[in-house]
Amino acid sequence: MAETDSDKKKTTLTRTVKDKWRAKQWFKVRAPGLFQHAALGETMATESESIIGRSLETTMQELGGGSDVGKAHIKLRFSITAITGDGIAETRLVGHDLTTDYVRRLARRKRSKIEAVVTVTTKDGVQIVLKAVAVGEQRLQSRLQTELRHRFKAILVESATTRTAPEFIRDMLGGELSRLVAQGLRTLYPLKKIEIRSSTILGTIPDEEPTSESMPAAETPIEPPASPEPSTA
């Protein structure tokens, strides 16, 4: 029986789909130097240019290999910026968010929740939009909440001016920035919990290799070599 036009179209369509699939290739995606170029996974595309700008998300726990369970609520957002010659997709950090469940658990009934949105500029000129939240043990008066919010923002702005973007982000994700804010607000009211629940990085963070802080320090300092004595004729 002769092949019908409908059968021919189906065969051609199937072959086209298979050819497009075979033409795709895998690209390994890695984090920027701020995260020691950790592997983020793989993505597939027909042409490398088509994945530029593609976004992906992971948690701090996943990025650390699953060892740090306490950071599973921190979600990191990345965007692919370039493809290297060996098929590696480089990324930049776009920002972070805390999971909805975690933020919901912060503020329960009969507690005041103070939210603040502020744009800070780091020492190296990178702008970051921060959305922060602070929780009090009991309901607070509106006037006190306003004073806390103003000082909250001022502390974030000031801390950014004394840190480079990598330093600021490490302190933000590691909790040091929240502890700094808590100390600054203690004279007004001792808040129970302070979190930077979201950030959006408006600029590009300079790539950074692992710093000396992440490497073991030598037990004794290494003395520099002595300068050679001038020769005499």
The total number of structural domains that make up the chain: 2
* Domain ranges, residue 187: 99-204
Asked whether residue 233 is domain-assigned, the answer is no
* 34 and 121 part of one domain: no
Whether 132 contacts 196, CB under 8 Å: yes
Read off the pLDDT band of 142 (50, 70, 90): confident
pLDDT at 212 over 50: no
Domain assignment of residue 53, yes or no:
yes
On whether both 92 and 163 belong to a single domain, the answer is no
Q: What is the mean pLDDT of residues 113-131?
A: 94
- Are 28 and 76 in the same domain? yes
Decide if 228 is inside a domain: no
CATH of the domain at 151: 3.30.479.30
Domain presence at residue 213: no
Same domain flag for 193 and 103: yes
Query: What pLDDT, on a 0 to 100 scale, did the predictor assign at position 229?
Result: 40
The region of weakest confidence among 50-59, 84-93, 106-115, 193-202 is 106-115
76 and 138 together in one domain: no
pLDDT tens digits for range 25-38: 888 999 999 898 99
Shared domain check, 105 and 187: yes
